[in-house]
Structure 1
Amino acid sequence: MAYPLPLSCSPRVNQVLDNQLTASTMATNLLAPVKTEQEILENSMLEDDPNANCAATSPPLESLGPRWGPQHKGAQELANLYSTGKRTQECICVGICLTLMAVNLIFILFHIKLQNLSAIMVAAFCGIVTADFGSGFVHWAADTWGSIELPVIGKNFLRPFREHHIDPTSITRHDFIETNGDNFMVTIPFLARMVWDFITLSEDDVQMKFTWNCYVFLLAIFVAMTNQIHKWSHTYFGLPSWVVFLQEMHVILPRRHHRIHHVAPHETYFCITTGWLNWPMEKLHFWTALEVLIEAVSGLKPRDDDLKWAKKGT
């Protein structure tokens, strides 16, 4: 039985990448992208293959030219840019964030009133949806715009996004700190403000802000856990059964759902917390409209830097 060769494994990779660059421009991005099963198979890395992450079995892998994965030259160069200073920042942020979460949880349990449970549940749900939108917006912005050469944010914050597209399974080789450090950092100001409110406000004022604080708390938890959820969506072996159950119930981002984003040139399905908003955002042409507007105003091409790194493997 013959298997279709993934384009990332094909000698025609230069032509494919040039076609992707064309497809990313304003003129051809007016319709929401639709991915078929065949496109997903041929244009994304088969992460459920434990051997070579490639569907091709003949000819030998070494004769197929550049492909996505740990052997990609661009992926190796990007991985080597992870610095000791960045690691230190991530360790500090994870420690502070976990401490603030624990303190806030104690305060919430102490002040919760059962008669307000329905409002609290609605607030919690809204927090999760907001986290999904936030993950999509940040993911879209970092995937689509900017360059590794930008001061501060380039190597520290855009680098992982570039690496992830040419070596999607790299996230499964990152430990808890490297995976979650940046997301935990984002939540610290909001969790710190909550602690301040619980300490300084009167009981009446605490109750007035309690529903809002529950919204912020669930938002912060899901924002903090977004990259861990994202990592699970790329992990095809050895996941705990409860994680697989949550994925199958679409409580968190499912593996098959996220695979759609990894069809080159990665211009769709950006929400990576629950993925609930991906379908409606595409039907509304939300990301496409933003790209058209930004390209018209600035002249910048979406995903230009992303495709530049992809070509380093050629």
Structure 2
Amino acid sequence: MAAKQNNISINSIKDESRRYKSTWGQRAWFACGCATLLISIAKSTLLIIAASPVGPLTWVELTLAALIGYVAADLGSGIFHWAIDNYGGAETPIFGSQIESFRAHHQHPADIIKCDTAGVLYVVSAATAFAVLPFNVLSGDAVLLVLVGSFAGFVMFSLKFHAWAHTPRRRLPRVVAALQDAGVILPWSNHVKHHRPPFDGYFCTVSGVWNRVLDEYKFFSAAEAVVLRVTGVRPRSWSEPGSDWSQVSD
């Protein structure tokens, strides 16, 4: 009997471990997203080299394009996070698994740090590949490629920044902790507010720089009112959180 119970316990641990492992399909989509971003970087670099010598104005444009992409990505990550927290379900095309994962995340916030990177990023990686590839193929504008690549890259990795915001500091690589301290990527001190009642704000997960502004001006509340008026669909935040949601503290 004891041996049987031990076997059941070991099998349960193995099943739990497999639940957080990425599949080969997820890894393939993650690789596609990364490859698409690398192509964007490579092509923009080659275009800059071909246009050499490059004037100061072009460097200013390239820098602004990267910064605009970065700032816009934080806003985009917030809109994406808000949408999947509030609308759709497991049956939703493409994003169904993400919606269910984010809902489960509110019940078990720490589970995100157990997941493989590819398992967390594969859906957004696939979307990145499909969205950025046409620009890589058709565009010969280095500034546009930098803008698109910056925006798409930060949106894609925003879910990893999100996971790092839940990771104990002692387990973070030093460079990640430094970037969090500098506010370049999402720090826990910013994201923790999303996991406190009323659980309906601080959605942005690149740097979190937009969070205070969006909440102060009730951006998402206004968006929910518009969606309700147009579609008749109520956001989940009006009836949730449920009793199974976990409040996280510092």
Q: Does 1:131 align with 2:73?
A: yes
CA contact under 8 A between 2:73 and 2:155: conserved in structure 1? yes
Cα 1:186/1:238, change in 2 over 3 Å: same
Q: Over aligned residue pairs, what C-alpha RMSD do you find?
A: 2.8
Q: 1:283 maps to which residue?
A: 216
Q: Among 76, 87, 98, which residue is 2:34 paired with?
A: 98
Cα 1:95/1:305, change in 2 over 3 Å: farther
Q: Among 155, 180, 195, which residue is 1:247 paired with?
A: 180
CA contact under 8 A between 2:88 and 2:96: conserved in structure 1? no
Instruction: Give distance in 2, aligned partners of 1:301 and 1:220.
Output: 26
The CA deviation at 1:151 is 4.7
Secondary structure of 1:270's partner?
A: coil
Q: Does 1:169 align with 2:132?
A: no
Structure of greater relative contact order (alpha carbons < 8 Å, 6+ residues apart): 1
The CA deviation at 1:212 is 1.3
Higher-helix-fraction structure: 2
CA contact under 8 A between 2:224 and 2:234: conserved in structure 1? no
Q: Which consecutive residues of structure 1, in runs of 5 or more, have no partner in the other structure?
A: 1-78, 199-205
TM-score calculated relative to the size of structure 1 = 0.64
Q: How many residues align?
A: 223
Instruction: Give distance in 2, aligned partners of 1:99 and 1:296.
Output: 41
Secondary structure of 2:236's partner?
A: coil
The CA deviation at 1:305 is 7.3
TM-score calculated relative to the size of structure 2 = 0.79
Deviation >6 Å, runs of 4+: none
Q: Does 1:303 align with 2:237?
A: yes
Q: 1:217 maps to which residue?
A: 149
Residue type matched to 1:222 in 2? F
Instruction: Give distance in 1, aligned partners of 2:113 and 2:167.
Output: 6
Of 293-302 and 164-173, more deviation after overlay is shown by 293-302
Instruction: Give distance in 1, aligned partners of 2:81 and 2:160.
Output: 14
Of 137-146 and 95-104, more deviation after overlay is shown by 95-104
Cα 1:305/1:282, change in 2 over 3 Å: closer
Alignment of 1:1-314 (within 5 A): 87-112=23-48, 113=52, 114-115=54-55, 116-148=58-90, 150-152=91-93, 155-197=96-138, 206=140, 209-236=141-168, 237-296=170-229, 298=232, 300-303=234-237, 307-308=241-242, 310=244
